[in-house]
Amino acid sequence: MDFINAIVLLLNYTVIPALTYGSQLALGAIFVTLVYGILRFANFATGDMMSFGTMVAVLITFYFQSLGISFGFLPTALLTIPPAVLAMIFYMLFIDKFVFSYYRVKKSPPVQLAMVSVGVMFVTQAIIRIIIGPFDRRFFDGEKFILKANEFKEMTGLNEGLTIKSTQAITIFVTVLVVSIMFWFLNRTKTGTSMRAYSDNEDLALLSGIDPKKVVLITWIIAGILATIGGVLYGLDKSYRPFVYFNNMLPIFAAAIVGGIGNPFGAFLGGYVIAFAEILVTYAYKKFFAYLLPEFMEPDSLMQLLSTDYKFAVSFSILVIVLLFRPSGIFKGKTL
């Protein structure tokens, strides 16, 4: 019994939150890795692009709410994803046309493109703050819980409750759906294969008649979908605040590099590696051991490796270790 309680405890406070957070990171990390693999630069506007898409979704959600449109027990924001994705793609293509494409055509070194993306980061942040402001916005509505702690306790008779928030379930479900479709597209369709070919060997791809303009276009479309959905899921689960989105770029980069940058599947797994590391290292295991160990051995400290203040620091340390020992990432495998 105590054993099951301990497991439920871990599930509730580490596994489910980590799966959720990991999914949100994973979507961002695939976005980073796609842009890196195909457009060949580290996009420092990643967090703010995700923020842009989310902002559109938030605004439309507020508009829908004012009209009285709702999505039943699901959050209204899910309805706003398609138009928000469209706006995001439009914005990305606009930026690409007027900013990035110039350097791509000139074949500028990746560093220069990265620096240009810093400019895009500033501009995007300005646009977002001017439109919606820097404040914290909650836009979640609908049913809050799928499973409540006390319901679970009643059901099972356990001490520990298991809570599943609907945002957690939605996040994991949507992520699995989106990522599956994306991998199917990349691995099983002619266009997807041509994108992987372009990423692998640009010159040879051109010699095979692959149209670089089309590859770039589709990359931004996929990037727009991933950025918006990742951003909206994060915002639904926590809240929407532009500054936090900028900061999220950091663990997202960590996830992409840990997974082996340029490798979408690695980035996907990398998101979970980072999320689990952050949460497992900063979780206080006192209660967990209290269940497992006999009474006289019960720990009196919190049994916490690092305080939650160091959440980010954990993922960055992992990144540093990976860069040190395996700069190509943990999951080399198949690259985009």
Partner 1 sequence: MAFFEGSKMTAGYGDGPDIISSCTINVDKGEIVAILGPNGAGKSTAMKTMLGLLNLKSGSVLINGEDITNLSPQDRVKKGISFVPQSKNVFAELTVKENLEVGAFLRTDKLDKILNDIYDLFPILEEKQSQIVGELSGGQRQQVALGRALMIKPSVLMLDEPTAGVSPIVMDELFEHIIKVKKTNVAIIMVEQNAKQALSISDRGYVLVTGQNKFEGSGNELLNDPEVRRSFLGA
Partner 2 sequence: MMQHKNIIAAYSIMILLIIAVGVLQSWTIALTILNYCLISAVMTIGANIQWGYAGLINFGIMGYTALGGLAAVLVNVPPVKEAWKAGGSGMVVSLILIISGVYIIRTVLRKFENSKKRNYIVAAIIIIGFVIVRYISGPAIENIEAIDPAKTGFLGGLGLPIIFSWIVGGLFAAGIAFIVGKIALGLRADYLAIATLLIAEIIVSIIKHEDWLARGVKNVIGLKRPVPYEVDLQGSTWFIDLVEKFHSKKLDVITSLTERQDVLNQLVIDASSVYVKLCLAGLFLTVVIILLILTQKALYSPWGRKMRAIRDNEVAANAMGKNVVKEHLLIFILGSAIVGIAGAMMVTNDGLFTPGSYRPMRYTFVIWVMVIVGGTGNNFGAILGGFVVWFLWVEAAPIALFFINFFTAHLEETNAVKQHLIQSAAYFRFLLVGIGLLIIMRYRPKGLIPEKINIK
Instruction: State the residues that interact with partner 1 by CB under 8 A.
Output: 190, 193-194, 196-197, 199-201, 203-211, 334-336
* Residue 125 near partner 2 by CB under 8 A: yes
Report the candidate in 327, 269, 220 with the shortest Cα–Cα distance to residue 25.
269
- If you write DSSP's letter for every residue of 135-160 in order, what string do you get? S-B----S--EEE-HHHHHHHH--SS
324 touches which of partner 2, partner 1, none (CB within 5 to 8 A by kind)? partner 2
The CB-of-207 to partner 1 minimum distance in angstroms stands at 6
Burial class (CB in 10 A: 0-12, 13-18, 19+), 311: middle
Report the candidate in 66, 87, 44, 203 with the shortest Cα–Cα distance to residue 141.
66
- Identity of the residue, 112 or 208, whose beta carbon is nearer to partner 2 in the bound complex: 112
Give the C-alpha distances (Å, rounded to integers) separating 203 from 13, 66, 209, 212, 291. 49, 52, 10, 10, 60
- Identity of the residue, 74 or 210, whose beta carbon is nearer to partner 1 in the bound complex: 210
The CB-of-107 to partner 2 minimum distance in angstroms stands at 14
Q: Are 321 and 260 in contact (CB under 8 A)?
A: no
The CB-of-256 to partner 2 minimum distance in angstroms stands at 9
- Identity of the residue, 201 or 308, whose beta carbon is nearer to partner 1 in the bound complex: 201
Q: Amino acid letter at 292?
A: L
Structure tokens at 270: 């990398």
* Residue 197 near partner 2 by CB under 8 A: no
Per CB under 8 A, residues contacting partner 2 are 41-42, 44, 99, 102, 109-112, 114-116, 118-127, 129-130, 133-134, 246, 250, 253-254, 257, 301, 307, 309-310, 312-313, 316-317, 319-320, 323-324, 327
